[in-house]
Amino acid sequence: MENYVVVDVMCPGSFGITFFVEERNSGLEYTLKKVECLDETRANRSLQEALCLIDVNHPNIVRYRELFVLWDKHITSSMLSMVMDCPYMTTLKIVISSQREQKEKFEDKYLQMFLGQMVDALAYLHNRNILHRNLKPSNILMSSDSVFRICDFGTATITQDRTKVDIRIKENEKCWMAPESVMLLQWSDKSDIWSLGCVLLDMLICHILNEEASLLQLSQLRQDLSPLDLIICKDFRKLLTRMLSHNPENRANVWVLANEAVVKQSLILCGSSPHSIKRTLPQGVTGPPFHEGIDSVLDFMMTYTDVEAIQLSVLSYLLKEERKAMSRIGDVVEAVTSAMLSHSESACIQLKSFQLIQLLLTAEEACELIVKLGSVHHVLNTLKDYPHEKDIIIPCCKIIQCTLEKGYGAPESFPDAVETLCIVGEMHIQDAVVTECLCAALQFLINQALHEEKDIEKATCLLIHQLKSHPNEAVIVNHVFVAMAGLITTSETAALQLLHVPDEINGVYHIMAARRHHSDYPKVTENFCHLLKQLVQHDAVIPELLAKNVQEELGQILQQYESITETVLLAQDALSKMMSIK
């Protein structure tokens, strides 16, 4: 301490007193924080815990220059002393108070600058297993050009001292702390996320509530999330819901946050890349324990869900060890789903995950669990994100098909599914393999009426284009006939649309041409007759069918397939209705 001259003293904080000091030799100014410890043993333990801060070097974190323990004879106590840079910046607490007094909202760009810099800084810290433990507006410095810096870290020895916490931390200071920190004195990277969520919420509501009311809302968060009803912006409300989950296991960590849309935008605005915020393995941990068996491997995978390299390594292992994966279907599906959601921007992880899930779908329990975990919704999002990736599209479509085929399809599980498949289908209309998978998934969606009126025109156009492009592919023709019959059964619009496909020859022409390519294939003919039976239920289309001599086609089918009862009955029903109108 003799190396420094005290220039000014700030108000005491929760855990200590902060001084502005000048180094005697250089004349440079620093901030010096002195934290009282109960005894020398605890002071030295705190010093060892804090030494890692010396190596921290990040533009949004105040640099620590020196750490030492000294004896304060005035209060007869050991003090942990921390010398930090002294940037001439105000605190976020002062800025929030100013906004509150003027009843002015923070601009969205300002909020995004704050959020992007804080997420980037916390990712840096948490990757190094460093926790802040005391994140709040008074410990966040900021400059006039919207540069934010975290300062004033806490240590485990000090923050887990129940006596010190109860005596030193005022009730209004606890409102920034996570439930597990207040009740159990437990801190983790998720505790920092809770605190950041509280700071962000305070910035969002400061213009409508005074300080006392705002702090009450933050304290209320530990009971329920009703304070989030004050947030108008859906993106921020969704983000805060993930940051403020009461159960730390369900709360998002910084790497999950980096994949949220509003955070991605914030990182880009700050000059950071969402891809650069990746979790790494702690020092000394080398990789998955493949030699210890699948249970240990899955535990390791879930522990390091956010480490992309680990997820890829384990997914490759599970694809090779299919039998082992099948022996732990529930755990594997859960782990793979977590990997997909945590790495939505990694095409490699999406591909391997879907390939693995596709293998597991042969088991009934896998299909049910996939739906429960919300993976079907993720499948659709992945199709939107990777519409050109053939190797991702095929397993995605097979998952949709299998889920519906096994009876786990519900409308809420497939939002915009038909529209998404139609968009992707048009992109790959010349690819028979992709078209077959898309067509099969579309067939099941349509047959379960998981479509809206707005989807009918798109679906009808796609089906006709598929027939036109692949008339020789019997499997595709069958899927198209069944899907069209499903559309027409529920909508006259689909029947009329079939006759007037934009920029196409009459759809009936393509239907008949496809059937003739497979006139000796009984299943194609049966589905053709079933489609016609549904078409003739709409009187408005019958004149067009007669004009195309569909009745002659049906007459030939009756002769060719006279021994197949189901086909004969369908053909007779369709022909009878057409002749009755004629």
55-94 residue pLDDT tens:
999 999 999 999 988 877 666 578 888 899 877 778 999 9
Instruction: Say which CATH topology domain 90-276 has.
Output: Transferase(Phosphotransferase); domain 1 (1.10.510)
Above 70 in pLDDT, residue 171? no
CB 482 within 8 A of CB 527: yes
pLDDT of residue 429: 95
Which residue did the predictor score with more confidence, 450 or 432?
Answer: 432
Share of the chain above pLDDT 90, in %: 52
Residue position matching structure tokens 């491997």: 297
Topology of the domain covering 4-84:
Phosphorylase Kinase; domain 1 (3.30.200)
Give 175-217 pLDDT, tens digit per residue.
899 999 888 889 999 999 999 999 999 999 999 999 999 999 9
Q: Is the pTM of this model over 0.75?
A: no
Find the length of the chain: 582
Do the bridges between strand 77-85 and strand 90-91 make them parallel or antiparallel, or are there none, so unpaired? Answer: unpaired
pLDDT tens-digit map of 129-169: 899 999 999 999 998 888 999 998 887 766 666 665 555 55
Q: For domain 451-581, is the CATH number 1.10.287?
A: no
User: In terms of Cα–Cα distance, which of 128, 268, 97 is closest to 192?
Assistant: 128
- CA proximity to 421, closest of 448, 451, 391: 451
Q: Which two tokens stand for residue 85?
A: 């840079």
Amino acid found at 404: L
For CATH 1.10.510.10, the residue range(s) in the chain are 90-276
List, by residue range, all CATH 1.25.10 domains of the chain: 451-581
Domain(s) of CATH 3.30.200.20: residues in the chain? 4-84
Mean local confidence (pLDDT), 274-287: 77
Q: Is 134 helix (H, G, I), strand (E, B) or coil?
A: coil
CA distance 455 to 419: 6
pLDDT in tens, 217-239: 999 999 999 999 999 899 999 99
What is the enclosing helix (H) or strand (E) of 173? helix 171-174
The 10s digit of each residue's pLDDT in 238-250 is: 999 999 999 998 8
* pLDDT exceeds cutoff 80 at 446: yes
Q: What does the pLDDT read at residue 371?
A: 75
